[in-house]
Every structure is written in C-alpha cells, then in structure tokens.
C-alpha cells in the first residue's frame, strides 16, 4: 500500500485515503470513490483503526478488480459488491449462529484469542496466523453453510464424459455444493458443527479449490478472485467480535438455522443476541 502515500488526504472523512491515483497509478473512478466514502461514513465516529483498515483494503481491492473488469461499467460494480458483501456477511452471521448453538466452540475460540492476544489490546491482522482454531471455525462454517451454494452457472466449452455420461458442448452446469459439503462418504458426522475436524482428521483439506469435497470459493480459472480478501476480512472481523464481546442467546433459546432460498445462502431470520463487553473499557473508543 506504500505507493498510495503520495496522494493521501490529511483531513475529513477522507483522511488517509488516496485522492487521485490507485495502487497502480491509474486515476480513480468517481464511482469507486463514492462507494468507499459511503462505507467510511458508516464508520464515522469510531476510533477503531482496524475497521478503518478493512474499509481501506476493501477500497483498494475494488480498485484492482475494476482495472480487470470493464472500467466504469456500473453493472460490474454491482456484481463485485454483491459478490463481496453478501458472501462475507452471511458467513459471519452463520459462524456466530453456529457458535451460539455450540457454546463450547465459542469458549475455545475465545480462549485461543485470550492466550495469544490477552485482554489489554485489540486483535490485529498479524495475529491471524496464530488463531488456528478460529480458522477451523470459519472453514467449518463455509462447509455447512457455503454462501454461494450452487456456485455461479458454468457451461462446458467442449464435449466431455463425466462418470460415464456424455456431456455435450454448451451444457449448463450448476454444482450442488451443499450436498457435496455434507457427503457422508467424505465427512464424518457431516451435519455436525465440528471445527476440530480441520485440526485432526481433515487437517489437509483447504478451501482454495484444490480439495473437491470442500469448495466454497469455486475452483479453476473462474474461482472467486476475492478469496484472500474474503478470508482475511472473515478472520479479523470474527476474531474482533468474539474477543470484544460475550455473546448470549436471549432466553437461552437455540438460534434458528433456517436458510433462505437464493443465489446467496442467507439466514432466514436475523439472530438476536445479547452482547456484554469483555475487554478493558478503554479499548471500546468511548473515552
């Protein structure tokens, strides 16, 4: 991000943001700028430097994507925004819902953060590599509730044979990820939320498109280009939330896990939670 420094603004809601050039020195599109500023205004009034960092990163990645996709075409922007926000938000909500229904997982993830970070400072990006249990929680959430359960539609570019079936050129393919991710031939207790599996029996299985039993980001040339940003944002946000707050269910009722029908796998009902701060008061930016 060093190359952005030359054009940073020093004041107002845009403080610290590049004004005229992007990471590659290309002029920034007005739409990009407005998108980023809208996100920043949401965070106005907070001193949380890490939230700001996420917004900035989001902005830089959008800018990079824009260079590859048709520059200035609003329809692509909409596609990227939907691809980036719905997926990340729904995964975070499912992760919290699953942890609220499995309190021992929440406790273990919080303990890991407390041991590595303590309670006197906030979680930072470099801490992520040490939070292996948290990473397993995210993988297990993506397995049970993949945000794009049918991928995007694909089409065969040439005739081929799969499992003895002839697939003509031009056949539309929709992948049933929910089924694959809960296949009893591939997974032990497939419907159980067990992040530990990714530290023991399934520790070699990753989400980056090389293990076909777990493929939340797609695979091959059209796989999700936002995978690294997505994982980074998921880890940092989830870690910050469960480090900063105790989560409890009102009336101790289990959280409903009904899914919505759609391109993105959203939770049908918003989870209701009770939050209690668990760090030193000075870390919440209220002083």
The answer to whether 148 and 216 are in contact (CB under 8 A) is yes
For residue 222, the minimal CB distance to ligand HEM (Å) is 4
- Closer residue to ligand HEM (CB): 87 or 110: 87
Q: What is the total residue count of the chain?
A: 287
- Closer residue to ligand HEM (CB): 7 or 80: 80
Binding-site residues for heme sit at: 224
263 is a site residue for ligand HEM (CB under 6 A): no
In whole angstroms, how far apart are CA 221 and each of 142, 160, 208, 212, 224? 21, 18, 12, 15, 9
148 is a site residue for ligand HEM (CB under 6 A): yes
Binds ligand HEM by CB under 6 A, chosen from 18, 22, 230, 244: 230
State the residue number with the nearest CB to ligand HEM.
Answer: 226
Binds ligand HEM by CB under 6 A, chosen from 35, 56, 84, 99: 84
Residues 39-68 touching ligand HEM, rule: CB under 6 A, are 61
Residue 136: CB atoms within 10 Å: 23
Instruction: Say how far apart CA 71 and CA 251 lie, in whole Å.
Output: 51
Instruction: Say how far apart CA 249 and CA 228 lie, in whole Å.
Output: 32
Binds ligand HEM by CB under 6 A, chosen from 18, 22, 195, 225: 225
Number of DSSP helices (H) and strands (E) in the chain, helices first: 7, 6
- Closer residue to ligand HEM (CB): 117 or 265: 265
**Candidates 14-22, 45-53, 121-129, 221-229 — which segment interacts with ligand HEM by CB under 6 A?**
221-229
Residue 148: CB atoms within 10 Å: 19
Instruction: Say how far apart CA 226 and CA 64 lie, in whole Å.
Output: 11
For residue 119, the minimal CB distance to ligand HEM (Å) is 28
Residue with tokens 């870690």: 239
Query: Which residues contact ligand HEM (rule: CB under 6 A)?
Result: 61, 80, 83-84, 87-88, 91, 147-148, 151-152, 216-218, 222-226, 229-230, 234
């Amino acid at each position: 991000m060093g190359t952005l420094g030359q054009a940073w603004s020093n004041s107002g809601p845009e403080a610290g943001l590049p004004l005229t050039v992007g990471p590659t020195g290309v002029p920034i599109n007005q739409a990009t700028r407005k998108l980023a500023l809208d996100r920043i205004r949401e965070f106005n009034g907070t001193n949380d430097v890490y939230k700001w960092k996420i917004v900035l990163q989001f902005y830089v990645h959008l800018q990079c994507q824009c260079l590859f996709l048709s520059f200035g075409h609003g329809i692509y922007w909409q596609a990227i925004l939907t691809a980036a926000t719905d997926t990340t938000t729904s995964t975070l909500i499912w992760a919290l819902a699953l942890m609220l229904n499995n309190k021992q997982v929440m406790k273990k993830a919080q303990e890991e953060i407390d041991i590595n970070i303590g309670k006197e400072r906030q979680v930072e990006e470099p801490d992520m590599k040490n939070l292996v249990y948290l990473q397993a929680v995210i993988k297990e959430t993506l397995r049970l509730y993949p945000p794009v359960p049918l991928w995007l539609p694909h089409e065969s570019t040439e005739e081929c044979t799969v499992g003895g079936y002839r697939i003509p050129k031009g056949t539309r393919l929709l992948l049933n990820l929910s089924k694959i991710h809960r296949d009893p031939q591939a997974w032990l207790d497939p419907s159980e939320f067990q992040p530990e599996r990714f530290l023991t029996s399934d520790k070699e299985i990753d989400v980056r498109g090389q293990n076909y039993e777990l493929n939340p980001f797609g695979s091959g040339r059209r796989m999700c280009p936002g995978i690294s940003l997505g994982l980074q944002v998921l880890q940092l946000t989830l870690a910050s939330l469960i480090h900063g707050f105790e989560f409890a269910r009102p009336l101790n009722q289990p959280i409903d896990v009904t899914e919505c029908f759609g391109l993105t796998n959203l939770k049908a009902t918003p989870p209701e939670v009770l939050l209690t701060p668990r760090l030193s008061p000075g870390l919440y930016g209220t002083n």
